[in-house]
Amino acid sequence: MKALVCKQPGTFEYITIPTPALKKDHAIIKIKRIGICGTDLHAFVGTQPYFTYPRILGHELAGELIAIDHAPGFSKGEIVTIVPYFNCGTCIACLHGKPNCCVSMNVCGVHVDGGMVEYLSVPSISLVHSEGLSLDALAMVEPLAIGAHGVRRAQVGEGEFVLVIGAGPIGLGTMEFARLAGGKVITLDINEQRLNYCREKLKMEHTVNASSTDVLSALREITSGDMPTVVIDATGSLKAINSAFQYLAHGGRYVLIGLQKGDITFNHPEFHKREATLMSSRNATRQDFELVIKSIKEGKINPEAYITHRVDFVDVTDTFSQWLNPESGVIKAMVEFNS
């Protein structure tokens, strides 16, 4: 079968590898859709932590279940996605209900080869029913679950001002679930195209362009001087992460969904006097996947509206690097398997 491997930063190559055979407690999926996420882009340019090369990318997927072993409730031929964070089930995190940060985590497409293949073998326990969602919507469940998990970590309450930094796909999902939780969302980005998308498509009331606005003054005006009680970073930019400590209200919570390789630095007295809380938010749980699917089915979120670019699997190498350019206007690129 054909696979697309990232051999080293900046280099993709189509290769032929054996079609997977069915293993105990595993399932085989014929891939139909793969969403391109920030993890894939960072891996391509060489800035993704926890990463080694060569690697087959891709974990936002939808496909047809063609073979199964020990997957009660699932049937060959049905459309599925997966929870792509393959956990051990026995470490301290797993035993305490946090499989998303398993000590021995293997994320599909990061630590182990992912879905840029015609057929993918996955642990049966990772399977998720489509619940009638379209292929496109189903492939969007995972990135939306990342945002939903971050909002759950923040414990967003009714009427709170929630500053979401970064209007990429993860940030957009974070905004939507923060609003569903009752938050008053403020969007911060440096890309005016994406801010326009937030205003026009998501109907976000408050948007701030960090490249052309005094952010502190804008936030004080929006919050009547209080500042946001929740700040969530969805950029993975060290500059953005470090800058955002100053945007936090006294008693507030700062959640890092975005990830990068450097060290965070902040002023301890400023952080201390706020009695602020700093949290990371890693991956998502099945609970978050279920919330996302329910929200889509109820019409509260339209994930297909995020998809701005499409490409056939056989043409990814000709197109991928273009998505690194903000001027491309890409929000979510979707790879289609048409064979």
**Digit-coded pLDDT (tens) for 211-229:** 999 999 999 999 999 999 9
Tokens of 248: 């936090």
Helix, strand, or coil here: 48? Answer: coil
Regarding beta strands 161-165 and 230-233, do their DSSP bridges make them parallel or antiparallel, or are they unpaired?
parallel
pLDDT in tens, 169-201: 999 999 999 999 999 999 999 999 999 999 999
Angle between the N-to-C axes of helices 286-297 and 141-154, in degrees from 0 to 180, rounded to the nearest 10: 110
Q: The CATH number of the domain where 97 resides is what? A: 3.90.180.10
Q: Which two tokens mark 193?
A: 């195209």
Is 314 inside any structural domain? yes
Q: Is residue 251 part of a domain?
A: yes
pLDDT at 338 exceeding the cut of 90? no
Task: Give the pLDDT band of residue 85 (cuts 50, 70, 90).
Answer: very high
* pLDDT at site 51: 86
Co-location of 169 and 219 in the same domain: yes
Say yes or no: 179 and 164 in one domain: yes
Does residue 135 sit in the same domain as residue 166? no
Per-residue confidence (pLDDT) for residue 165, from 0 to 100:
98
Give the single-character DSSP code of 235.
Answer: S
Same domain, yes or no: 151 and 276:
yes
What pLDDT score does 190 carry?
Answer: 96
| 270 and 324 in a common domain | no
**Parent domain of 189:** 146-280
Query: What pLDDT does residue 42 have?
Result: 87
pLDDT, one tens digit per residue, over 89-146 is 999 999 999 999 999 999 999 999 999 999 999 999 999 999 999 999 999 999 999 9
Q: Is residue 339 predicted with pLDDT exceeding 80? A: no
In this predicted structure, what is the pLDDT of residue 261?
84
* Largest Cα span, the chain: 61
Local confidence band at 20 (pLDDT 50, 70, 90 cut-offs): very high
Domains: count for the chain: 2
3-state secondary structure of 151: helix
Q: Is residue 289 part of a domain?
A: no
Tens of pLDDT, residue by residue over 35-81, are: 999 889 989 998 888 889 999 999 999 999 999 999 999 999 999 99
Per-residue DSSP letters for 255-270? EE----SS-----HHH
Match 């004080």 to its residue by tokens: 220
Residue 327, pLDDT score: 81
Question: Per the domain annotation, does 286 fall within a domain?
Answer: no
Residue 332 forms part of a structural domain: yes
Q: What is the phi/psi pair of residue 282, to 5°?
A: -110, 125
- Note whether residue 207 is domain-resident: yes
* Same domain, yes or no: 185 and 252: yes
Flag whether 276 is in a domain: yes
Which strands sit side by side in the sheet containing 161-165, from one edge to the other? 206-209, 184-189, 161-165, 230-233, 253-256, 277-280
Interatomic CA distance for residues 100 and 88, integer angstroms: 10
Compute the distance between CA of residue 263 and CA of residue 299 in angstroms, rounded to an integer.
40
pLDDT at 325 over 90: no
Q: Read off the pLDDT of each residue in 20-45 and give the average, rounded to a whole number.
A: 95
Residue 328 has pLDDT above 90, yes or no: no
In a domain, 217, yes or no: yes
Same structural domain, 19 and 79: yes
Give yes or no: residues 256 and 160 share one domain.
yes
Residues 135 and 156 in one domain: no
Query: Which residue has 């890409």 as its token pair?
Result: 330
In whole angstroms, what is the distance from residue 1 CA to residue 149 CA? 35
Same-domain pairing of 8 and 132: yes
Q: What angle do CA 51, 320, 115 make, to 5 degrees?
A: 55
Same structural domain, 99 and 216: no
Q: Tokens 């595993």 appear where?
A: 26
Q: What is the CATH number of the domain that holds 266?
A: 3.40.50.720
Integer Rg of the chain from CA: 20
Indicate whether 176 and 208 sit together in one domain.
Answer: yes
Provide φ and ψ at 289, rounded to 5°: -60, -45
Q: Which amino acid is at 248?
A: L
The pLDDT value given to residue 166: 97
pLDDT digits 0-9 by tens, 228-280 = 999 999 998 999 999 999 999 999 999 999 988 889 999 999 999 999 999 99
Cα–Cα distance list, 173 to 40, 99, 125, 291 (Å): 18, 21, 25, 12
